[in-house]
Amino acid sequence: MKDPVHEKTILRERIARLPVDQRTRLVERLRHTRPSSPSPHGAPAFVRQPAAHVGTTGTPTVRLFCFPYAGGGGSVFRTWGRSLPAGTEVWTASLPGRESRLAEPPLRRMEPLIEQLHEAITPHLDLPYVFFGHSMGALIAFELTRRLRRAGDPPPDRLVLAAFRAPHLPNPNIRIHHLPDEVLKTVLLKEGTSRQVLESEELMRALLPTLRADLELCDTYRFRDDLPLPMPLTVLGGDRDVRVGREDLRGWRAQAAGPFRLAMLPGPHFFIHSSPDLLRAEVARELAATAGTREGDEDDDRPLAG
């Protein structure tokens, strides 16, 4: 019989041997986040992150709601407030099956997740706000926006969606949630996941169940036609992403009735980690623009300087 205490000791030792940047990233994904506000389901569906600065009056003027990629948690965005415009209050989606909701089974279908998030977010829509989502998080942000519109709730002022193909496009990739572990690890390696992480049996045992559920949620997603969204839409991609290409991203234009902008950042699928400063600069640009307007479309698909 395996000794749980011994296994935890081995896990801590392996994490300690990782490079500092990878170790920090893993700890943030695995750590428990302290709830900061209740949800209708007894656990926080949205967590307010510590504020670095909210202006001279201490009063926030805009909220940023962040949605993580498959297998990730809201703690990925824990330090974002430090590099965003003054007055920004950062909230992160806390999804079932991870961090403060670790005891809950992860959801494998989009509809019940959107219903949970819709119910939880409505008390926090009293300020201008922006949605940001990376990969699976982009799809969640898009569908939650459409749910808010159907309910007649205040919509986000802007959407910033990263690393996910336009939702109406067919998925050109094979479904991967059911693949054997070793094959799934090969796919994750090509997308930018650290080899050291993938080779750790303990880490994979902790991460794979939630990751598989999230991948199933994406693989079983079915797009339903609706009117394009009226707010400005910015789409970001990685110039070395092997699963989501530039044309996949450009297809989002069909979902935008308002201004549309596409920008490619240096990096693979997880450029949220390889180009964090450039990504946060793009998000900061959209937050700063919530009080203004943009004219027309911008299609800036040249890689940005690193």
- Cα 51 to Cα 54, 63, 124, 133, 231: the distances in Å are 7, 11, 16, 20, 26
Res. 201: pLDDT tops 70: yes
Please write the tens of the pLDDT for every residue from 114-149: 999 999 999 999 999 999 999 999 999 999 999 999
Total residues belonging to the chain: 306
Tokens representing 245? 């290409």
Instruction: Find the range with the poorest average confidence among 37-41, 208-212, 247-251.
Output: 37-41
259-306 pLDDT per residue, tens: 999 999 999 999 999 999 999 999 999 999 985 443 444 555 444 433
Averaged pLDDT, 225-231: 97
Tell me: pLDDT of 151 over 80. yes
Alpha carbon distances (Å) from 162 to 5, 6, 206, 239, 271: 39, 39, 26, 12, 9
Contact 39, 122 (CB under 8 A): no
Q: What's the pLDDT score for residue 298?
A: 54
- Domains of the chain (ranges, CATH numbers): 4-303 (3.40.50.1820)
**Residue 89, C-beta contacts closer than 8 angstroms, at least 6 positions apart:** 48, 51, 54, 60, 62, 63, 64, 81, 127
**Is pLDDT above 90 for 168?**
yes
The secondary structure of residue 37, as a DSSP letter, is S
DSSP bridge pairs for 234: 160, 261
pLDDT at 243: 87
Q: Please say whether the beta carbons of 286 and 263 come within 8 A.
A: no
Establish whether 135 is a catalytic residue. Answer: yes
Catalytic entry in 75, 94, 100, 135: 135
Query: Which two three-digit tokens encode residue 152?
Result: 């007649």
pLDDT given for residue 100 in this prediction? 87
Q: According to the model, what pLDDT value does residue 280 have? A: 97
- pLDDT value at residue 171: 83
Distance (Å, whole) CA 6 – CA 153: 50
pLDDT for position 40: 43
With 90 as the cut, is the pLDDT of residue 88 above it? yes
pLDDT bin (cut points 50, 70, 90) of residue 29 is very low
Give yes or no for a contact between 113 and 139, defined as CB atoms under 8 angstroms apart.
no
pLDDT higher than 80, residue 180: no
Q: How far is it, in rounded angstroms, from Cα 272 to Cα 258?
A: 25
